[in-house]
Structure 1
C-alpha cells in the first residue's frame, strides 16, 4: 500500500494525538527492498501495443519530444487534429507522436474509420476502464500531453491543439509546464 503525502501527514498527526505512552514492545525494523525509480505523472511510463502491430514504449523515445494524444473517432475536434498532426509528425524528426484512441471500438470499425481518416503515426486503442496509470484520465477529448526529451511532462492541453501550438511549446522549451 502506498500512502499519499496527505495520508501520511494525517497519520503522523493522529499518532501525535495519543497522550499516553504505550508499553508495548517496538515493532521490529522493516527491511526495505532496493528502491526502483518509480514512474509518475511527472515522468510517466507508457507501453502500449499499437494498432499497426508494434509496441510503443515511451522510454524508448527519450531524447525526443513526444506528443501523447488522447482522442476518439466520434470526437469532431479530434478528427480536425489528425491531418495537422500527420503533417507535423512528418516535418519534425525531433518529435514522436503516439495516439491513444480512448474509446471502445472493434478493429474492423477502426479500419473502416482509417479509410476516411488516415493516421500516419502510431496509435493504440485503450481500454477505457484501464487507462495508462501515469497519465491523468481525460476529462474531455482531445487531450494532448507533451513529454520533453528528458521524459518529463512539459505541458498538457485539454481541448483541440494545433501543430502551431505544439511547435510554440516545443521551440519555447514548453516553459509553461502544466
Structure 2
C-alpha cells in the first residue's frame, strides 16, 4: 500500500494550490527565515524526510541550482522529527549548504503536503506559483522562474 502511494506521489503532476501567505522557519544554525524577509527573491521550500530516498535524491540538484542563482533562496525542511544532529548528518553527507530546518509533521502542516517530497515555489512578491508533489527537478523550477 505504501509503495503504491509513493509511486502515485512521485508521478503526481505539477499542482498549484494555496499555501501559507507567510511562514517563519528557524534553520539549524538558528537563523529565522520568513517569506517577507526574502521579498524580492524567488523562494523554494522543499519538504523532505530522512527516510525518503526520492527526497534525498533531489537534494544535490537543488544544491547546484541554489548555487547558480543569486535570485533564488532554497529552504529545506526535514519533516520527520529527527534530531538536528541526525538531520545534519544527512545534510553533510549530501553536501547541502542551503538552510535546513529540523522540523516535524506539525511544522510541515502549514504547507499542506500530501506526501514527501513536496516543494513550493514563491515568486519575488511572495505569491506561491508552483507546488510540486513528488520529485522536483531543476528543469521544473527553471521553467517556473521568469
Q: TM-score, normalised by structure 2?
A: 0.81
- 2:133 is aligned with 1:158: yes
What pairs up with 1:1-178 in 2 under 5 angstroms?
Answer: 41=18, 44-131=21-108, 133=110, 135-136=111-112, 138-171=113-146
What is the CA-CA distance between 1:43 and the residue it aligns to? 5.7
What is the CA-CA distance between 1:119 and the residue it aligns to? 1.4
Where does residue 29 of structure 1 map in the other structure? none
Structure 1: where are the runs of 5+ without partners?
1-40, 172-178
What is the CA-CA distance between 1:126 and the residue it aligns to? 1.8
> Structure 2: how far apart are the matches of 1:161 and 1:99?
13
CA contact (8 A) 1:145 1:153 kept: yes
Structure having the higher strand fraction is 2
What is the CA-CA distance between 1:112 and the residue it aligns to? 2.5
Structure 2: where are the runs of 5+ without partners?
1-17
Structure having the higher helix fraction is 2
Q: How many equivalent pairs are there?
A: 129
What is the CA-CA distance between 1:145 and the residue it aligns to? 0.4
